[in-house]
Amino acid sequence: MTDTAFPTTGYLAWQFSQVLAGMLERALRTEDLTLAQHNALMHTVRSPGVTAADIARRSGITAQSMGTAVGRLVERGLLRREPHPTSRRSMCLFVTDQGRPVAARAAMITRRIEAETTAPLSPEDKDIVHRLLYRIVEELNPEALSGVAEERAS
């Protein structure tokens, strides 16, 4: 493959992310969740006490958009806010009892969509793609993986 080869790896990754995001967006409607709300809910499940600003940085979403997403989840009773122990300007987020089953169903939806979108790959290829993408994200946006190392160790 040459430097001028088309489609480029970046273009293919972007196309895949667009397909994946579209499928997730449609599937998450059953839970009345947007992609930003889904990110907020899942990051809060993985990292109780996380702030909306932390989730925005991890997700690559603007703080304003994440604030709107979190606000809607709080209104629905899926998340609750508590004062941050050291910052008067920040609030910590926690999943509520009402939010846990929604998060569990959303996680099942995510796994189903991932299985559908990676169906053309063998299990070995899926593992290779996963490891390569992990390395790239770990290098370019390590904050996106916050909480993952702790989760893998347990």
| pLDDT at residue number 152 | 43
Percent of the chain whose predicted confidence (pLDDT) is above 90: 77
Average pLDDT over residues 25-49: 95
Amino acid at 109: I
Tokens of 142: 């390590």
Tokens of 144: 């996106």
State the greatest distance between any 2 C-alpha atoms of the chain, in Å, as a whole number: 53
Tokens of 6: 């088309």
Categorize the per-residue pLDDT at 3 as very low, low, confident or very high, splitting at 50, 70 and 90. Answer: low
pTM of the model: 0.85
Assess whether pLDDT exceeds 80 at residue 89.
yes
Assess whether pLDDT exceeds 50 at residue 151.
no
Which domains does the chain possess? 9-118 (1.10.10.10)
CB 91 within 8 A of CB 84: yes
Average pLDDT over residues 109-131: 96
3-state DSSP of the chain: CCCCCCCCHHHHHHHHHHHHHHHHHHHHHHHCCCHHHHHHHHHHHHCCCCCHHHHHHHHCCCHHHHHHHHHHHHHCCCEEEEECCCCCCCEEEEECCCHHHHHHHHHHHHHHHHHHHCCCCCHHHHHHHHHHHHHHHHHHCHHHHCCHHHHHHC
Assess whether pLDDT exceeds 60 at residue 22.
yes
